[in-house]
Amino acid sequence: MKFLRFITDRFKSFFSGNGIARTEETDSGTFQSREKVIAFTVATIIALSLWFIVNLSRDFNITIQVPIQLTNLPSELTISNEIPSTASVNLTGEGWKLITVYSNPPRVLVNAEAQQVNLTEQIRNQVSAFSDLNILQVEPSQLVIETERKATKRVPLVSRVNVSLRDQFGFISDPVVTPDSVTLTGPESALAEISEWETEEVDMSGINRSIETDVRIRSGSQGVSVSPSAAKVSLEIAEFTEAELRVPIRTRNLPSGRAVTYNPSTITVRFDVPLDQFSRVEGTRPFQAFVDYDDLEGDDSGRVTPEIEVIDTDFIVRLRSFQPPRVSYFRVVQD
């Protein structure tokens, strides 16, 4: 590296105006040293050029990727099997000619109406334009083309965004995917088995705010194309805090002439609420606790578990627990 830097600096100094001025001010020893560097550099370039000329005249063996392009495919049909986008071709020949075909490999035009194509023979015919090149192997050597009637189908798009939130944070609502569906185009038999489509899997951790992120939609296979190719996932997130309240227990579907008392008659409900809603939820009762009378009819233990139901949708509340988990009861038959 020091040698290359030395040569570069010498070239800049020699070809710049300041360098010429300094040359006139330097002694003859410095000027001779510069001439030696220039002569050495020119000799090195000539030697490298001759080395390339001599070596590239030899035969080499390389492998290139030749693009495969389907032609003559009717608009109402589609390919129902996997067709590789390239063919791997192993070549031998003179280095100069290999450089040409390596930098600009020829495309292989395959007739989609043919059911089976000898790819080796077709590539050999196209590469024959480059004289003195020999094809040793083509992979795949044969190409099987299966066609089927094209169909279109719209299916729901499912998010595969895995989100891990920081402590005390939670979702205000379910993640929203836009668009909520995608259009699939491909063989009828393949589309018949598809009921939904997914985004690519993305992992996000330590999230503590609402965000909107772009995600790629999983690409199709077996001749199935997907539109669009990307979507947006919106996440509404807030910081939550814990609250509690006492809720009386009621009996649902109570027959006429019957009464039920519970011990205790109220339960303590613990729940999470967004921090900005905490002051407003105090003094309200967003939950109700009840026991269905049919559950009492089928019980012989004398204790039941109340059910908790959210009745105020103005608040985003999430049940954590309630105490006691079971209560005793007494059924009263009124005269």
In this structure, which CATH number among 1.10.3470.10, 2.60.40.1730, 2.170.120.30, 1.10.260.40 belongs to the domain 59-145?
2.170.120.30
Specify the CATH number for 240-333; select among 3.30.360.10, 3.40.50.150, 3.40.1350.10, 2.170.120.30: 2.170.120.30
| Paired residues of 270 in beta bridges | 244, 321
pTM of this prediction exceeds 0.85: no
Reported as a pLDDT band with limits 50, 70 and 90, residue 50 is low
Question: Residue 138 CA to chain centroid, in angstroms?
Answer: 33
- CB distance 197 to 226 below 8 Å: yes
CATH superfamily of the 151-235 domain: YbbR-like domain (2.170.120.40)
Average pLDDT over all residues of the chain = 83
pLDDT-derived band of residue 299, with 50, 70 and 90 as boundaries?
A: confident
Question: Residues 329, 260: contact at Cβ < 8 Å?
Answer: yes
| pLDDT digit string, tens, across residues 187-226 | 988 898 899 999 999 999 999 999 999 999 999 887 789 9
Digit-coded pLDDT (tens) for 63-120? 888 888 888 888 888 888 888 888 888 888 777 677 777 777 888 888 888 888 888 8
| Mean pLDDT on 288-294 | 93
How many Å apart are CA 296 and CA 329, to the nearest integer?
9
